[in-house]
Structure 1
């Protein structure tokens, strides 16, 4: 779970967009390239110790925490999410960050749920077209002409007002509206937006346990043991029998034979699956940092 953010800190998500229809690209659910994010972070700060820590859907997970970056690079779209300490002016974010990816349009969204700090900005060819960020009771930046989607909120027709001295809306509500209007879709209901997560604080890469393949011998033994237990439960103490450990019925032999044959077939399938799994993993690792 993310830790508590500082007073003027926020989770900032930047969309670098050159594609004419971002929605169609997201709808195709492209897979994020692990190597792309690593190279982008190395460009931002060569001194950072970069550690991949996961791969998941941006819009189905908890947001980035301090010293973490969620990154995805798709055709015509790059997404970066991280935590910034002072975001009282979105138009004056680090030029290194804003220029890290060439794009026609850059959309910035900043949110701190704990303090109601919320903001959004749109830069076109590097110039600020609209930038707004505020608490419910304090506006830090309000540059450019408000977009059409903002009008109902400023008019008090949408959003919730906390006090008579507050804005007629919670700034975070307007951030969500800006995302829908500028990107062309609602993140909460869109297909998965796949990203790769990285840490820059030197933490080790999490270890993922590999599944153990069960051998055909183990399957055979389990089947035979199950059959023995079943035969023992069918033994009738009121009939005359030899000692149970000397009784070997033809039915049990036949069942054990069938179980062994089935296990042999299963063993071959598991061997092939294991071989394919190993080949796939080798291929993925070979392309990891491309």
Structure 2
């Protein structure tokens, strides 16, 4: 019986993927959109954000995290029913051309995990298990697996339990094959998130710039007034902007004192702005 698992597909053609990934490459929105359209032209594709793969929450149902770098591409998604890695591989194994495909699966609500290395369409190594049962074991163990099978990585439970935690072994496989630490401690691996369930694109409110304090604006005036030549280089528009900033800062400060002062400061701000606006009319 399978379980829901977050499955990550690494498509590698680069000779040294660690060099590519350690440079913290950026993701391209167009790459993922094009890939998803090829996988299923009927999907309504919605970008849902850009973020580091290794510092974000995992994808939910109908979501994909995708990036294409020089010689390396990654696709991460949630697959509802995973029992073996070779079975899960059929979802996306041929999605992109690659000499090597590395697949890492981690159970969403269980201790299930697994990993696989495909050279073309041939599984060179595949393993999947929970702590108490092995679901798949293809090929010979690789060198990075040795301390896990030797029981050196975790306290032993005894009985039929495996001498390691499957998710920890899956992470070790990923790090060994890619040559980097794919965790929050590793380099940022930028991806673009997409949803294919028809949801609207999230709206992000623009950041609100906090008003400058009177002290900050006054400090700029002091810098301008240090030398006469510097003052001559200042344009009228720049002066106007700074006077307006001072007026705005005065309003902000006055609000903290009381409404009466705020009204007077606001009148001063309006008067300054009007004088600036009419100063070039003679």
Match of residue 14 from structure 2: 19
1:192 aligns with 2:188: yes
User: How many equivalent pairs are there?
Assistant: 237
Q: Deviations over 1:46-70 (max 9, x none)?
A: 1111110000000111111111100
Task: Rate the CA distance shift 1:31–1:226 in 2: closer, same or farther, 3 A.
Answer: closer
Q: Deviations over 1:155-181 (max 9, x none)?
A: 222234344221111111101111121
Match of residue 87 from structure 2: 92
Match of residue 204 from structure 1: 200
Partners of 2:61 and 2:113 in 1: CA distance: 18
Partners of 2:114 and 2:142 in 1: CA distance: 14
Match of residue 76 from structure 2: 81
Is the 1:64–1:81 Cα contact (8 Å) retained in structure 2? yes
Which segments of 5 or more consecutive residues in structure 2 lack a partner in the other structure?
A: 212-239, 277-282
Following superposition of structure 1 onto structure 2, how do residues 174-253 of structure 1 map, counting pairs within 5 Å? 174-188=169-183, 189-211=185-207, 216=241, 219-225=245-251
1:9 aligns with 2:35: no
Is the 1:16–1:79 Cα contact (8 Å) retained in structure 2? yes
Partners of 1:121 and 1:229 in 2: CA distance: 63
Is the 2:64–2:77 Cα contact (8 Å) retained in structure 1? yes
1:124 aligns with 2:119: yes
Task: Rate the CA distance shift 1:131–1:208 in 2: closer, same or farther, 3 A.
Answer: same
Deviation at residue 37 of structure 1 after TM alignment: 0.2
Q: Deviations over 1:217-276 (max 9, x none)?
A: 86354245478899x9xxxxxxxxxxxx9xxxxxx9xxx89xx69xx8xxxxxxxxxxxx
Q: Of the candidates 17, 29, 34, which is equivalent to residue 34 of structure 1?
A: 29
Match of residue 277 from structure 1: none
Deviation at residue 93 of structure 1 after TM alignment: 2.8
Deviation at residue 90 of structure 1 after TM alignment: 1.2
SS at match of 2:92: helix
Q: Deviations over 1:198-235 (max 9, x none)?
A: 011111100012346789586354245478899x9xxx
Q: Of the candidates 40, 44, 50, which is equivalent to residue 45 of structure 1?
A: 40
Is the 1:119–1:175 Cα contact (8 Å) retained in structure 2? yes
Is the 2:2–2:82 Cα contact (8 Å) retained in structure 1? no
Which segments of 5 or more consecutive residues in structure 1 lack a partner in the other structure?
A: 1-5, 233-244, 246-251, 265-290
Following superposition of structure 1 onto structure 2, how do residues 31-180 of structure 1 map, counting pairs within 5 Å? 31-93=26-88, 95=90, 97-112=92-107, 114-180=109-175
Q: Deviations over 1:124-155 (max 9, x none)?
A: 12210000001111111001111111122112
